[in-house]
Structure 1
């Protein structure tokens, strides 16, 4: 056993933010020199180059300690460098709760909502926090060794981008020069800050560039890439910086899903955007020009949509006043006459003038043309404006948001609102200005779903060759005809969902689902009339089924959105666009669509990264409330994972566990759960799905006594082999495949438990009889056969003849006696269809009176046929005559 680490009890502790960069490291080293006898806590792991550098060369400079070995009871001071955000600290939570703790903060970041209030707070807008610390060291004339200077210089070089970032200040150059004079090693700095890209990083760089989309918000171009990585990507920030330089991008957001976290790196050169504030709203931080964040347990599309909302809000907030206002503002001083006011309004064709104080030019209120004309009409035009104006001190600044303008004009009933910046009126916003903006804004919102300005922009690519190579001629022609019908009606039509997913997976296509951006029923009627098909309509959901002469079906739906009034309830449906229709679906792999209109035929549309997830073989949910709103998606996630051999993404798995922990499935009706279980048990091999259900505890939600045992697993494997044998020999026989597995699942449970499960799942009467009464009889019969074996053909026949196919297959899987299995399979393949060739008519012709004896004779005939006798009708009639004579029936 290794020796226990000795505890230390420092009076001063120094720390910084998680995943500390060189600037944080350099600032902590400088703080250590400012606070002798202090101890440094490194919060979390550093980047690999940082770790290697300090472990192999500079670690001796730091008085570091493991948080687990520190006794904080005597700590009086906490020094925090390069951050003020509580959410970015780790390992000092207990210390922050300590009363009378002195907190000294040194930082170069802007203010954030969750910042810690320091006892002493020194913040300067320099390019690096290390610059601030170096100034203090120089002021206090504290000597710095060459190794210390190298570490501190690293911080300044890295956080200023080698003095190329817009945040770089004169002080950064000065302190870097000072550190070089102290012996900072430039070759070491160059080897660590100027990083050559590795092969793997080049791969991720290409991935980010390939997935890059450009989104316009109020005329500003925002570049965004969203990808999922199978493992951690080191030094993501440098990859993003490289892309910005290569592509000459003004604003770039990189979103990378790694494990259960979405990592966001932002770089910005736009004045209208502060990426630090945007990512601060997502729990991250940074500057106006560079920021990062990590979002846990949310899906990649969800984070992407939230990010776009924040970007749009900030851009609109910065620009809305400037966009609305009229400039320059037309004004008049309070001592001027009403006649002059009227003449100005006529001259400039305005209905309102801003009234200013004649001495200070301060805004006092406004006067309207209606009031001025009335005063002139009453021969009072010489009177000063001050006697008749509407006093009002309300104004807004250039950075105000739309809500503030609406509140002043609509709620406070102001005719005009001046826009004031630095105590100078730079413009004016009128009711008409606001009304025009709102009308235009509403039009943009309506059109945004098609333009994809405010939301996700789809990734598109041509897959026409895949349609040609994978589909048969009939389906290809059908899709072309659907597109032509869409052109004729002037609507956009798409084939969607499972069709596209299976096409991309090169699996057999079973269903054709079409979505129409418009009235789906009208489209279906038109198509059906053109191609002489039958039509089944569902007016409530605005869907229809087109049925061809040979029974082939095409499902048609109007593009629609859904929302849930309560968890686990059925959705409320409204018509919408293809984007919203895809957004309501369950998993990214089911959100793909292919356009069928002539001009865009074969264009794959992918809003949510479904193509990427198919490639990566992963099941991901779109929204983090999906399992709460519709818990049946939990079963579907398991079903798709099992069917395609895909893994369930970490975020999705966490959301499943969370939904189950809050009892979401308990609200589902039994019939909906049963429907999902039937689909799972209808798969070729449902055992992995059953194992996943058990891992999540989903079986316990159905009934607390359900559990997956080794015996159940073995029985499922036996069922799989039995069904494979049957389907190979009798491929045309139709039977409920799911029922065989369901009987195997319930095997071994008492009648009481089985009945409770049937009640919970609301089994229909016939299925209830099969899974309860028939299953129990099958279990009893197999025990009887095994106990009595060997048995005659007649015994085997009469024990088994009244069981349905699914029960017989269950019995075949259930028995462990190979001889019994062969006996049952022989019955199934050779004997179960043995029946007399004669009937009551032929028996009556022998002279036997009708009655129960007919059944006895027919059963005796079956017994004889089981022994290979009575091969013709004549032989059976003769047997009936002899039987009647022997038993005195004639």
Structure 2
């Protein structure tokens, strides 16, 4: 098979000239070739050179009058950018591994050696860059057939492949999720048998694959496979612990593992925000700890949102996720995810809306998107009713925000004004007065305006026995 027509661009023509003039042996390999068959446009190109990938990259840079390549000497790779393309060059190699290390013993090798070390048959495809064989496909392991059959399969014995580099188990599941492919039975059986090997992989590398699964069109595919393979209990026990239903007196609760994955799938078409998707994954994470059966009521998960928010930093820390504003955002979403639902059930008052706007701030729209995804009842009428009510809540949020401007608000009377008015130093009374002003605004007792807040401050000060020493009006 020849795919020269697919390589009809200035980049590949120039590369072919350089390969042919210098009598190099070089091939386009991996994901770029795979994506040609899948019809997915890509500007990332991996090039394998029989010999030195770094030396070839330097020659390409010289011929194309580019800046010197970025060289990663320890890995024997180099990178170049050209006309919007990102090129990575590596020398063909063969690898062997010691039992407890992901770091391979690397030797120079042939193209066949390099294809043998690839993770999956669909990533072991290569296209020649030499003029005489330009675009010729080298498919040693039937990768094209596996692409047509939508199968993930290792080129060699899967147990050896996964033992050599256990991260490939995560990659198998990630590709199956992203492409909606099936993992071949022998490959999946080996993956399950080797699950414990994932423990030698760093949290950072695992989370990188997890994030790609989370950002897939249907993330539930990957998490179900991770659980089935026995990897999820090792890398994410809190999520695995959501599994199962318990029945007492004929009353059962939903399986919160599958509910969580359904919420994530429902959210995915509406948001490509990685951290909102993490919030969906963690929104019910504390239900096992808060689960209780109450006679006459049934199953309760009291304060699971609050307990779950407390769990977020611990999970992020262990998984080496960022402990910054991203973590705080996820924590806030987990904490607040029950609030809009409570508004729908109990009635939408201006006071409740003001409080929600104040706490959610600029993330209110994302919170509402999460809450709408959280409606997963099998009762279609119930879902339609909730969604209609959520539209009312959104409309009310907009009306109250336009009227009262309480999103991210601080009381119009500051602590400094309170201290100056009553000649106070920082103390509890200052905080109490400021909090009372905020509550009065949220409850609708006074408008969110300076004059009203100032007069309210004077009344509160009087109640506390404070004297005005300086009238700032």
Length-normalised TM-score, structure 2: 0.68
Tell me if the contact between 2:2 and 2:137 (Cα under 8 Å) persists in the aligned partners. yes
Shift of 1:534: 6.8
Indicate the SS of the match to 1:889: coil
Tell me if the contact between 1:694 and 1:707 (Cα under 8 Å) persists in the aligned partners. no
Shift of 1:629: 1.9
Query: Could you tell me which residue of structure 2 aligns to residue 100 of structure 1?
Result: none
Q: Deviations over 1:545-583 (max 9, x none)?
A: 223576x52222222233222345233433333222221
Query: Could you tell me which residue of structure 1 aligns to residue 370 of structure 2?
Result: 810
Determine the C-alpha separation between the residues in 1 that align with 2:30 and 2:153.
15
Tell me if the contact between 2:211 and 2:274 (Cα under 8 Å) persists in the aligned partners. no
Determine the C-alpha separation between the residues in 2 that align with 1:833 and 1:671.
43
Query: Could you tell me which residue of structure 2 aligns to residue 743 of structure 1?
Result: 282
Tell me if the contact between 1:482 and 1:493 (Cα under 8 Å) persists in the aligned partners. no
Query: Could you tell me which residue of structure 2 aligns to residue 398 of structure 1?
Result: none
Tell me if the contact between 1:525 and 1:535 (Cα under 8 Å) persists in the aligned partners. yes
1:483 aligns with 2:22: no
Q: Deviations over 1:312-341 (max 9, x none)?
A: xxxxxxxxxxxxxxxxxxxxxxxxxxxxxx
1:502 aligns with 2:18: no
Query: Could you tell me which residue of structure 2 aligns to residue 694 of structure 1?
Result: 227
Q: Deviations over 1:202-244 (max 9, x none)?
A: xxxxxxxxxxxxxxxxxxxxxxxxxxxxxxxxxxxxxxxxxxx
Indicate the SS of the match to 1:569: coil
* 1:657 maps to which of 192, 198, 206: 192
* 2:108 maps to which of 568, 575, 583: 575
CA pair 799-575 structure 1, distance change in 2 beyond 3 A: same
CA pair 597-769 structure 1, distance change in 2 beyond 3 A: same
* 1:594 maps to which of 109, 112, 127: 127
Determine the C-alpha separation between the residues in 2 that align with 1:666 and 1:768.
26
Q: Deviations over 1:365-424 (max 9, x none)?
A: xxxxxxxxxxxxxxxxxxxxxxxxxxxxxxxxxxxxxxxxxxxxxxxxxxxxxxxxxxxx
Determine the C-alpha separation between the residues in 2 that align with 1:695 and 1:609.
27
Query: Could you tell me which residue of structure 2 aligns to residue 721 of structure 1?
Result: 266
Determine the C-alpha separation between the residues in 2 that align with 1:766 and 1:772.
10
CA pair 579-467 structure 1, distance change in 2 beyond 3 A: same
* 1:556 maps to which of 70, 84, 89: 89
Query: Could you tell me which residue of structure 2 aligns to residue 513 of structure 1?
Result: 46
Output aligned runs, 1:591-670, within 5 Å.
591-624=124-157, 625-660=160-195, 663-670=196-203
* 1:542 maps to which of 68, 73, 76: 76
Tell me if the contact between 1:800 and 1:808 (Cα under 8 Å) persists in the aligned partners. no
Tell me whether 798-807 or 573-582 shows the greater mean CA deviation: 798-807
Indicate the SS of the match to 2:44: coil
Determine the C-alpha separation between the residues in 2 that align with 1:546 and 1:810.
41
Determine the C-alpha separation between the residues in 2 that align with 1:739 and 1:506.
29
For structure 2, list consecutive stretches of 5 or more residues without a partner in the other structure: 245-254, 290-307, 377-385, 406-411, 419-433, 458-470
Determine the C-alpha separation between the residues in 2 that align with 1:719 and 1:823.
23
Tell me if the contact between 1:694 and 1:708 (Cα under 8 Å) persists in the aligned partners. no
Tell me if the contact between 2:317 and 2:323 (Cα under 8 Å) persists in the aligned partners. no
* 2:320 maps to which of 762, 772, 775: 762
Indicate the SS of the match to 1:509: coil
Output aligned runs, 1:774-785, within 5 Å.
774-779=332-337, 781-782=339-340, 785=343
Determine the C-alpha separation between the residues in 1 that align with 2:50 and 2:403.
57
Indicate the SS of the match to 2:75: coil
CA pair 570-804 structure 1, distance change in 2 beyond 3 A: farther
Determine the C-alpha separation between the residues in 2 that align with 1:638 and 1:688.
8
Indicate the SS of the match to 1:685: coil
Determine the C-alpha separation between the residues in 1 that align with 2:101 and 2:395.
48
Output aligned runs, 1:292-691, within 5 Å.
461-468=1-8, 476-509=9-42, 511-529=44-62, 530-533=64-67, 535-548=69-82, 552-567=85-100, 569-624=102-157, 625-660=160-195, 663-691=196-224
Tell me if the contact between 1:479 and 1:596 (Cα under 8 Å) persists in the aligned partners. yes
Find the structure with the greater CA-based Rg. Answer: 1
Shift of 1:683: 0.5
Determine the C-alpha separation between the residues in 2 that align with 1:738 and 1:655.
30
CA pair 622-672 structure 1, distance change in 2 beyond 3 A: same
Tell me whether 745-754 or 507-516 shows the greater mean CA deviation: 745-754
CA pair 563-808 structure 1, distance change in 2 beyond 3 A: farther
Output aligned runs, 1:10-49, within 5 Å.
none
CA pair 528-467 structure 1, distance change in 2 beyond 3 A: closer
Tell me if the contact between 1:568 and 1:628 (Cα under 8 Å) persists in the aligned partners. no
CA pair 538-788 structure 1, distance change in 2 beyond 3 A: farther
CA pair 813-595 structure 1, distance change in 2 beyond 3 A: same
For structure 1, list consecutive stretches of 5 or more residues without a partner in the other structure: 1-460, 469-475, 728-733, 837-842, 871-875
Query: Could you tell me which residue of structure 1 aligns to residue 357 of structure 2?
Result: 797
Determine the C-alpha separation between the residues in 2 that align with 1:835 and 1:531.
60
Determine the C-alpha separation between the residues in 1 that align with 2:397 and 2:206.
33
Tell me if the contact between 1:678 and 1:738 (Cα under 8 Å) persists in the aligned partners. no
Query: Could you tell me which residue of structure 2 aligns to residue 15 of structure 1?
Result: none
Determine the C-alpha separation between the residues in 2 that align with 1:682 and 1:583.
29
Shift of 1:684: 0.8
Query: Could you tell me which residue of structure 2 aligns to residue 822 of structure 1?
Result: 391
Determine the C-alpha separation between the residues in 1 that align with 2:219 and 2:330.
21
Structure (1 or 2) with the greater helix fraction: 2
Length-normalised TM-score, structure 1: 0.38
Q: Deviations over 1:98-155 (max 9, x none)?
A: xxxxxxxxxxxxxxxxxxxxxxxxxxxxxxxxxxxxxxxxxxxxxxxxxxxxxxxxxx
Determine the C-alpha separation between the residues in 2 that align with 1:753 and 1:885.
42
Shift of 1:589: 0.7
CA pair 690-629 structure 1, distance change in 2 beyond 3 A: same
CA pair 546-642 structure 1, distance change in 2 beyond 3 A: same
1:889 aligns with 2:472: yes
Shift of 1:541: 0.8
